[in-house]
Amino acid sequence: KAGVTQTPRYLIKTRGQQVTLSCSPISGHRSVSWYQQTPGQGLQFLFEYFSETQRNKGNFPGRFSGRQFSNSRSEMNVSTLELGDSALYLCASTTGGYNEQFFGPGTRLTVL
Amino acid sequence: TQLLEQSPQFLSIQEGENLTVYCNSSSVFSSLQWYRQEPGEGPVLLVTVVTGGEVKKLKRLTFQFGDARKDSSLHITAAQPGDTGLYLCAGQSNILGNQFYFGTGTSLTVIP
């Protein structure tokens, strides 16, 4: 069974731009969660999608948004990028219950 | 303020030594997970504990969930260089919205 895949793996953007990251969960998994990981703050929860609906949301500004498609693939978007948005963005999938998460390799975003 | 505090933050030991990593909170969790993350990769799930007082063993790793389900520990016996990585605990609670809250992380280096 293929694992969680994320594209792209690396991304360089400049301040003010916007970016879209993609996550394909494990086949059969209906829930996708997004996290931001930085050296200073660790892993911070962004939001979770289940069956195309946002089920949980962390404490991030509205510049961070996401969506989920009918095939469970998910995208997250960050608009008006700031230097502080530089981070490793991770997505994780589960079957839908609040149980074990399986993470993708992440997208390393650098904002210049 | 992090919901889950891990200690120590950094640990550097010689191969063959034993170590314990702690994960503490003032909140009660329904389940608690431990992950290991290597540079440039997403966290990989090691274990999930759900019952207060539960002890799980995974080869040389022993995981314990506190009786009150507020804390957990990870003990590694006879550490090996392959154990090197970032260890993360993550708690989940339906009272806190069901999302996973990650600990601050413990960076372990095992020197051959």
**Mean pLDDT for all residues in chain B:** 93
Q: Provide the percentage of residues in chain B whose pLDDT is more than 90.
A: 82
Q: Which two tokens stand for residue A71?
A: 């095939």
pLDDT of residue A40: 82
pLDDT of residue B97: 73
* CA distances for B22 relative to A84, B37, B65, angstroms: 29, 17, 10
pLDDT at A98 over 60: no
Is the CB of residue B30 less than 8 Å away from at least one CB of chain A?
Answer: yes
Q: Categorize the per-residue pLDDT at A96 as very low, low, confident or very high, splitting at 50, 70 and 90.
A: low
Of B35, B48, B99, the CB nearest to A45: B99
Q: Report how many Cβ contacts below 8 Å link chain A to chain B.
A: 56
Interface residue B24 vs chain A (CB under 8 A): no
Residues A95, A28: contact at Cβ < 8 Å? yes
How do residues B55-106 score in pLDDT, each as one tens digit? 999 999 999 999 999 999 999 999 999 999 999 999 988 777 778 899 989 9
Say whether the peptide bond before residue A105 is cis (omega within 30 degrees of 0).
no
Q: Could you identify the residue written with the tokens 């009272």?
A: B95
Q: Can you give the pLDDT at residue B61?
A: 97
Cross-chain residue pair B102–A43, CB shorter than 8 Å: yes
Closest CA to A17 of A62, A58, A63, A59: A63
Token readout for B48 is 């999930």
Whether A108 has a pLDDT exceeding 60, the answer reads yes
Mutate to test the interface with A, among B37, B50, B93, B99 (most CBs of A within 10 A): B99
Chain B residues with beta carbon closer than 8 angstroms to that of A101:
33, 45, 90, 100
> Chain B closest CA to A34's CA: distance in Å?
11
B93 close to B99: Cβ distance less than 8 angstroms: no
Distance between CA atoms of residues A101 and B47, nearest Å:
11
Picking from B30, B98, B103, the nearest residue to A56 by CB comes out as B98
A101 within 8 A of A93, measured Cβ to Cβ: yes
Q: Is A62 left (phi over 0), alpha (psi -120 to 50) or beta?
A: alpha
Across B73-83, b (16+ Cβ under 10 Å) vs e yields bbbbeebeeeb
Residues of A in contact with B101 (CB under 8 A): 45
Q: Would the pLDDT of A110 be above 70?
A: yes
Helix (H) or strand (E) holding A34, with range, is strand A31-38
Q: Token pair for residue B80? A: 């090996």
pLDDT digits (tens, 9 = 90+) for A53-87: 998 899 999 999 999 999 999 999 999 999 999 99
Q: In whole angstroms, what is the distance from residue B112 CA to residue A111 CA?
A: 37
| Higher-scoring residue by pLDDT: B92, B17 | B17
